[in-house]
Structure 1
Amino acid sequence: MKKIIIGIVIVIIMVAIGWYCRFILGLASQIAAPEVSTLDKEISWEKEHGLWGNYDSYEKEEYTVKGYKDYELHVTLVKNPVETDKYVIISHGFKSNRYGAVKYVDSYMDLGFNCIIYDLRDHGENEKTALSLGQFESEDLEKLIEDSYSRYGNIKLGLHGESMGAATSLMVLAKKPKVDFVVADCGFSNLYDLLHAAYDVAKVGTVLPSVNIAMKLRYGYDMKKTSPKDALVGNEIPICFIHGEADTFILPENSEVNKAATAGYSELHLVPDAAHARSREVLGEAEYRSIISNFLDNIDFK
């Protein structure tokens, strides 16, 4: 009888361990291998929210760029109707794709820029792979920056990012790329800290260390190192931070932490009533463009 009881206990423990492992791997896959939006869905969303603007009227060129470890990125150059040497690379958010960056194109067109939009790894037309919300993506962005100079010559180049794209645009600064400015809209300061707060709200905060172990073993990265605030230490490239005051997904405090971390000129604009990644929508194109325009004037960008 004693042996039977012991056997039952062992089986229960093994089942519990198996369930826990599946649960942890499921949480890890939600981060590193999520279901992402299609190009068509992103186009529809942008149009339904009045954010598509004049995109269809611009001349475009599509191409691919080899990113980190030769991972292929799908890229679109949106050409300004007026000849200009000013370019901006716009990085979209989590689960979106390059068409999620279209909401920012009109503002930069009016400011005299050509716009480079692209699918971040695992998104859009790119092949499926593990995403890291900033680590691998910043390596890709560094390659895209290098390609832009190789392709377009002696240009002036800025970065603009939304959410994950903002984190990516900030993390690449640790590599000291040749860029003139960054606009970071609703980015986080550290991925592990962000998830810790979210898991605490969901009453599952104790599992995060296990999720991070799973991330290291299965996807090859430590979430604690997806850390824009650490990448900004010693940075002197000017940064304009924008964040919705009503953002409950990535709290505005994240931009405050990032602003405090950078050594160079920076601004922080908090947008009343704007939820996550909705500052452009709440402000409208003209007012959002005004924030960027004033920032560029403040850093004497010509």
Structure 2
Amino acid sequence: MKKIIITVVVILIFAIIAIYCKFILGLASQMANPKVSTLEKEMSWEKEHKLWGDYDDYEKEDYIVKGLNDYDLHVTLVKNPIPSDKYVIISHGFKSNRYGAVKYVDSYIDLGFNCIIYDMRDHGENAKATVSLGQFESEDLYKLIEDTYNRYGNIKLGLHGESMGAATSLMLLAKKPKVDFVVADCGFDNLYDLIHTSYSVAKVGFVLPSVNTAMKLRYGYDMKKTSPKDALVGNEVPVCFIHGEADTFILPENSQVNKAATEGYSELHLVPNAAHAQSREVLGKAEYRGIIGDFLNNIDFK
């Protein structure tokens, strides 16, 4: 009888361990291999929310850029109707794609920019890949910047990012890229801290160290190192932070922390009644464009 009890206990222990490991791997997979939106769904959402604007009327060019480890990134250049040497690369949010960046195109076109929108790794038309929410993506973005200068020559170049795209744009600044400004809309300050807050609300904060271990072993990155606030130390590129005051997913305090971390010129605009990634929708094209335009004037960007 004693041997039977011991055997049952051992089986139960191994079963609990197996269930826990499956649970942890499932949580890690939700971030590293998420179910992403299609181009069609993003287009439909943008149009339903009246954010598609005049996108269909602009001249466009599609091409592919080699990112980190020659990973193919699907890219669209949206040409300004008036020839211009000003360009902005717009990075979309988690589970979205380049059509999720269309909401910002009209504002930049009005300001005289050509817009480059693209599918971040594992999103849109790109092949399946590990999502790191900033680490690998910033390496891709660096390659895209290099390609942009090679294609278009002596230009002025800025970055705009939403959520994961904002974190990616800020992470890139640690590499001292040749960019004139960054607009970071609702970005987080540290991925590990962001997930800890989310898990704590769900009463499962205790599993985060295990999830991060799974990330390191299975997907090759440490969430603690996906840290825009650390990347901003010593940064002198001007940054305009925009964040919805009603954002409960990535709290506005994240942008406040990031603003405090950067050493160059920066602004922070908190948008009343805007939830996560809704500042453009709440403000409307003209007012959102006004924030960016005033920022560019303040940094004497011509």
Name the CA distance, whole Å, in 1 between partners of 2:16 and 2:28: 18
Which residue of the partner structure matches residue 228 of structure 1?
Answer: 228
**Which ranges of structure 2 fall in alignment gaps of 5 or more residues?**
none
Offset of residue 287 of structure 1: 0.2
Instruction: Give the % identical residues.
Output: 82
Letter in 2 for 1:289: R
Mapped partners of 1:267, 1:136: distance in 2? 27
Q: Distance in 2 between matches of 1:34 and 1:112?
A: 35
Deviation readout 1:184-230 (Å, 9 max, x if unpaired): 00000000000001100000000000000000111000000000000
How far 1:295 sits from its partner (Å)?
A: 0.1
**1:13, 1:72 → 2: CA distance?**
44
Q: Structure 1 CA distance, aligned partners of 2:43 and 2:201?
A: 33
CA deviation after TM superposition for structure 1 residue 137, in Å? 0.1
Q: Which residue of 1 aligns with 2:239?
A: 239
Distance 1:224 1:69 in 2: 23
Residue 270 of structure 1 corresponds to 270
Aligned length: 302
1:143 equivalenced with 2:179 (yes/no): no
2:43 corresponds to which residue? 43
- After superposition, the C-alpha distances for 1:34-60 in whole angstroms (9 at most, x for unaligned) are 000000000000000000000000000
**Counterpart-to-counterpart distance in 2, 1:230 and 1:154:** 30
Question: Residue 127 of structure 2 aligns to a residue in which SS?
Answer: coil
Q: What is the RMSD computed on CA atoms of the aligned residues? A: 0.3
Q: Paired residue for 1:85?
A: 85
Pairs within 5 Å for 1:15-34: 15-34=15-34
* TM-score, normalised relative to structure 2: 1.00
Alpha-carbon distance in structure 2 between the residues aligned to 1:116 and 1:18? 45
Q: Name the counterpart of 1:192.
A: 192
Who is 1:3 aligned against?
A: 3
| CA–CA separation in structure 2 for the residues paired with 1:225 and 1:49 | 35
The DSSP-based 3-state class of the residue aligned with 1:112 is coil
TM-score (norm 1): 1.00
Q: Distance in 2 between matches of 1:64 and 1:210?
A: 37
Would you say 1:171 and 2:185 are equivalent positions?
no
Q: Secondary structure at the match of 1:125?
A: coil
Q: Distance in 2 between matches of 1:18 and 1:90?
A: 42
Give the whole-Å Cα distance in 2 for the aligned partners of 1:65 and 1:223: 26
Q: Which residue number in structure 1 is paired with residue 57 of structure 2? A: 57
State the 4+ residue runs in structure 1 displaced beyond 2 angstroms.
Answer: none
Structure 1, residues 233-282: CA drift from partner, whole Å, max 9, x if none?
00000000000000000000000000000000000000000000000000
- Give distance in 2, aligned partners of 1:86 and 1:131: 30
d(CA) in 2 for partners of 1:55, 1:169: 23
Query: In structure 2, how many angstroms separate the alpha carbons of the residues matched to 1:120 and 1:14?
Result: 39
| C-alpha deviation, 1:121, in angstroms | 0.2
> C-alpha separation between the residues in 2 aligned to 1:129 and 1:118?
15
Question: Does residue 289 in structure 1 map to residue 286 in structure 2?
Answer: no
| Structure 1 unaligned residues grouped into runs of 5+ | none
